[in-house]
Chain A
């Protein structure tokens, strides 16, 4: 129990502190790296909850792809630190309002979940003690949520085609052959 508590406290602090540092650090690359630290802690929080598959997906998709792209964007546009800070300070009242709205919804959902928690086992569509987490995810994705799953697949295909289409147009304008 004590070990679990220590791990839980460490992982939560590992999510909260980098989150705050990501917001207040003036260097955009450092900010992105703090988000990376946050995401890794989040992934291992999922791991402690027994969801190995989601941990791996979190690391592959968010840490391995999304944050890398963020880093590339931050490198390429070469933001001036002071300008970002100015924009940040100017926009902060609006940000604070959005933050309050989020907190409201968060607390609302939290009270809903705590009210639900005694009967939580009954609400789960499956029994976690039988079969691995991965097995259940696969089973539900390919039976119950097959239509939604395919829909997301088509959406991603459209995104890829869109990117290729944009690139083609760019080449025609330049008239060059790469």
Chain B
């Protein structure tokens, strides 16, 4: 028993590391894609100096951030100051373990996988709150308050949107949700649950602090926010956490609304093709939104969350329950 158990653990860790590496690669090239796409939309060229067509730009960025001086300001609470970026990153990245990438490939197939993803997203508020407090700076502290209020309010809307998916599928298990979609008449929940999909995407943008809801880090009009005192590699960790958050949120949307890894037909030799295709479409949507929409004001942001999205989510949940009852 002992050997089998240990070998199982070793294999699990190896697969987890592989998944993390692939995800890191995606995150690195997501930054490149974002810069290129936004440049195209603004009629610029974007990064084109490092490597052919600027393809090595993410590597250059990482090297630059690693070499920068790691400044620790006077009067910070050192252990918490060091811990906060890691909390952000871990909470954002470990969601990947729960997403079913293929019907035989999911790192941990939990019965309450969706609830765990919500739990991780609620824990990610700690990275924001702790970094703001530990920095011992008024700007960082105010930024943290602003950001955590936003995170907490949009989490409710997001949970309501996901709950209607759970009602439709009758399970919290992400693998079962994908299979339930395969058996449903439309093959994906985006058609019957279009309102939930809309609510989820809007709140996912707010949860990951992206334009048009990027008030926690509105560089162009407010001081950056909770991570204003961070520099070098620690700043890079926050940056990584944001992009990991984007990837995980899009993967969750693919799993819950777009039918997961299931496509109209199977492509031999490319098992993850449909999942990745859907993921890239949603990531492109994120970047497109960033290039198109201006930033919201803070009261507009809170008003949208509490007065539009949450009541809409509750109504949608109610009608989904009625639908489930009568059909």
Contact = CB atoms under 8 A, between A and B. Distances in A.
A68 B115 contact: no
A158 interface: no
Interface string A50-63: 00110111011001
Contacts of B80: 29-30, 33
A132 B111 contact: yes
A56 B122 contact: no
A70 to B, nearest CB: 11
Contacts of B111: 52-53, 132-134
B129 A56 contact: no
Q: Dominant SS at the B interface?
A: helix
Interface in B79-117: 80, 110-112, 115-116
A71 B118 contact: no
A53 B171 CA distance: 12
Interface residues of A, number: 22
B281 interface: no
Contacts, number: 57
B123 A29 contact: no
B119 interface: yes
B122 A59 contact: yes
B57 interface: no
A64 interface: yes
A3 to B, nearest CB: 7
Interface of B: 5, 77, 80, 110-112, 115-116, 118-119, 122-123, 125-126, 129-130, 133, 141, 145, 148, 152, 155, 172
Interface of A: 3, 29-30, 33, 36, 52-53, 55-57, 59-60, 63-65, 68, 71-72, 75, 132-134
